[in-house]
Amino acid sequence: MSFAPLRALRELFHSLCLRASVVKSIDTLATTTTMNRHIHLALIQHPCGADRAANIATTEAAIREAAAKGAQLILLQELHTSLYFCQQEGAATFDLAEPIPGPTTGHFARLAAELDVVIVASLFERRAAGVCHNTAVVLDRQQGLVGQYRKMHIPDDPGFYEKYYFTPGDAAPGFEPIDTSVGRLGVLVCWDQWFPEAARLMALAGAEILLYPTAIGWDDNDDTDEQARQREAWITVQRGHAIANGIPLAACNRTGFEADPGAQGRGIRFWGSSFVAGPQGEILSRGPQDAAEIILATVDMARTEQVRRVWPYLRDRRIDAYGDLLKRYRD
């Protein structure tokens, strides 16, 4: 009697079992990798002064401390190398603008490489004579400058005369995430945080987390109830972006009082309160209103998958019915 068919069957069975084992191992590895993917995030909140070198030194010291505590992704506040100069209009202020790449990106790129971290910084960019932007840059470990985002929504209100200084971003598409070693970052800037369209477009392009360098504060003449409403509105609208898109979000604001250098206005008291929210809007960490602090949070990136399975907003969008969103107003 020949045992060849039995041997062949046994070899086939062994081969199938081995293959199933390999597939199971790959699936397990993929699941484990996804489930164990966390980002250790730090927000650097502090007052700023008129001395650029001192501001940079303060920021650098905080970045070093955050990295020593395990931060992998470090978000800085808006225009962190200077006072918030948009309280008045002045042609001489354009001297603060610098090219990209330039001194600030070079400094923080070297720091990111040394500390093996990803830094999201913010600066006044000089693109050309008479064309400047409010720009966030991403510096990724040894890779250096891997992307930038030029602020799209530009305010023009008492104490926030940004239209005088900043040309709106004109990249196509305008809201494009930046790929880094820690994930795909949806980087926006300050006034952008009030517009759900910007957050949604970043999410639709695959952003895994929304990041907002910020400079926002109160007029001291507002009563405490009005101040509380403004601050809570700022926090609430951004928590809404996290919820509506099922992704985490971080906003880093400056703190301290800055007088109007032209003495025309009453100055701004920046309300700090930098925070990190999860994909259901839950607050993971928040800083104080009136003090410098390194706000640390560990973000579980797997929660986006879990949350979107239960709350599938992207699935149920009626994209066939949203044409009028391209209008200024439905008259």
- 218: tokens are 């109160």
172's tokens: 């196509």
Residue 281 CB-density burial (10 A; 0-12 exposed, 13-18 middle, 19+ buried): middle
Residue 213 DSSP SS3: strand
Closest CA to 104 of 64, 56, 143: 56
Name 150's Cβ contacts closer than 8 Å, sequence gap at least 6: 125, 133, 134, 135, 167, 168, 169, 170, 171
Residue in the structure block whose two tokens are 């600030």: 104
Q: Which residues pair with 218 in a beta bridge?
A: 269
Q: Is the peptide bond before 168 cis (omega within 30 degrees of 0)?
A: no
Q: Six-digit token pair at 81?
A: 């190398």
198, 210 Cβ separation under 8 angstroms: no
Which of the residues are catalytic? 78, 151, 190
Separation CA 210–CA 276 (nearest Å): 10
Cβ neighbours of residue 172 closer than 8 Å, sequence gap 6 or more: none
* Residue 190 Cα to chain centre, angstroms: 10
Three-state secondary structure call for residue 144: strand
Give Cβ neighbours of residue 292 (< 8 Å, ≥ 6 apart): 45, 46, 47, 58, 62, 255
Task: Answer whether 264's CB lies under 8 Å from 88's CB.
Answer: yes
Q: How many residues does the chain have?
A: 331
